[in-house]
Amino acid sequence: MSGICPHCIGYAHAAAGFGSFKKACAPNWRSRLMKSLSDVKFSTLDLVPVRADGNPAQSLRNSLDLAQHVEKFGYHRFWVAEHHNMDGIASSATSVLLGYLAGGTSTIRVGSGGVMLPNHAPLVIAEQFGTLESLYPGRIDLGLGRAPGSDQMTARALRRERSGSADDFPEDVAELMAYLGPRTPDQRVIAVPGTGTNVPVWLLGSSLFSAQLAGERGLPYAFASHFAPRLMHEAIRVYRNHFKPSAVLDKPYVMLGIPLVAADTDEQADYLATSVYQRILALMRGQSLVQRPPVKTMDGLWLPHEKDAVGSFLGLAMVGSPAKIRGKLEVLIEQTGADELIFTSDLYEHADRIHSYELLAQVMKG
């Protein structure tokens, strides 16, 4: 975008409508390969939200319906995320859900965004995703995170007596990838299915730890900027600076998470976004995460410091009409050089979610 230096343009919240700009440093931008919006893949991240008047069964059906729609719209992949003990998110059994989604679609890639590896034995994940890859060859992604995706009490319930923790993440990733690779002569434990499937592995994260690890292992990296945008520029820099070519990638590959609220008008988008604001506010207060209908104003629902906190959480949100969103995405790509964007849209009405992705597809296709 002419007249805008990506070295000093960043994302932050504003008093009305999150996702507007303020100055922030974007290190080493001149050294990046400059991309345009047409060079970037668009994908979908679904948290399988549960409405206040709904139930998980309907949310799971809605997830498949959304996957079928975004496949028609031309999106590259459809990911779901592992969360536990959250009444407003129905994607806890991630690998089971992926089988349902892959079986109901035909071309779009489906995957985890991500599986929280500390909750699982690497062999089990290799077997689950090896099974998925065997059933739906060439369409499965395995995104891995090192956070538990839950509170400490739930994490203990998941692991029982297992000693797995985030500290074991690098070793667990290596073990998992060994199960998915070709069998070696001295390998005593194998994943069946799994061995030789070479399911594509991504590292996900919101910190510099995963960025550095992904770079050192030569793996694609997905940064969780849809809820933790503060370290985005630094994480991208660390990943690229530590990148070592591998059998998987010969150059870095960056995907960024983006909250999405697209509507026909900016005013309608601002209204629909209040459902998202209420959900994040509930998360910060430790309240129920079920989706709530949009409201005309958030005044009286949050305190000033809560408004600021929600704004920081949603600092990269794309809220508005297609024209408004296009301009913001062009700046984002100019400043980051991202290879792919994965959008999450937690709107109250399922039809509004579908329409949001339909409008974004217009931006994607130019």
> 166 with 155: CB under 8 angstroms?
no
Residue 149 near residue 119, CB atoms below 8 Å: yes
Residue 112 lies in a domain: yes
* Cα→Cα distances 187→121, 176, 195, 217, Å: 17, 13, 11, 21
The range of the structural domain enclosing residue 230 comes to 35-265+316-363
Q: Is residue 350, in this structure, part of any structural domain at all?
A: yes
Question: How would residue 155 be classed by pLDDT, with cut points 50, 70 and 90?
Answer: confident
Q: Residue 296 burial (CB < 10 Å; 0-12/13-18/19+)?
A: exposed
Residue 6: per-residue pLDDT: 28
pLDDT at 108: 99
pLDDT digits (tens, 9 = 90+) for 317-330: 999 999 999 999 99
- The answer to whether 50 touches 33, Cβ cutoff 8 Å, is no
Examine residue 55 and state whether it is found in any structural domain, yes or no.
yes
CA–CA gap between residue 87 and residue 51 (Å, rounded): 9
CA dist., res. 227 & res. 223, Å (int):
10
Within a domain: residue 250?
yes
CATH of the domain at 163: 3.20.20.30
Counted domains in the chain? 1
Query: Is residue 160 very low, low, confident or very high in pLDDT (cuts 50, 70, 90)?
Result: low
Residue 309 lies in a domain: no
Give pLDDT tens digits for 52-93: 999 999 999 999 999 999 999 999 999 999 999 999 999 999
228, part of any domain: yes
What pLDDT was estimated at residue 161? 57
Question: Is residue 21 included in any domain, yes or no?
Answer: no
Is residue 353 within 8 Å of 70, Cβ to Cβ? no
- Whether 302 maps to a domain, the answer reads no
pTM to 2 decimal places: 0.90
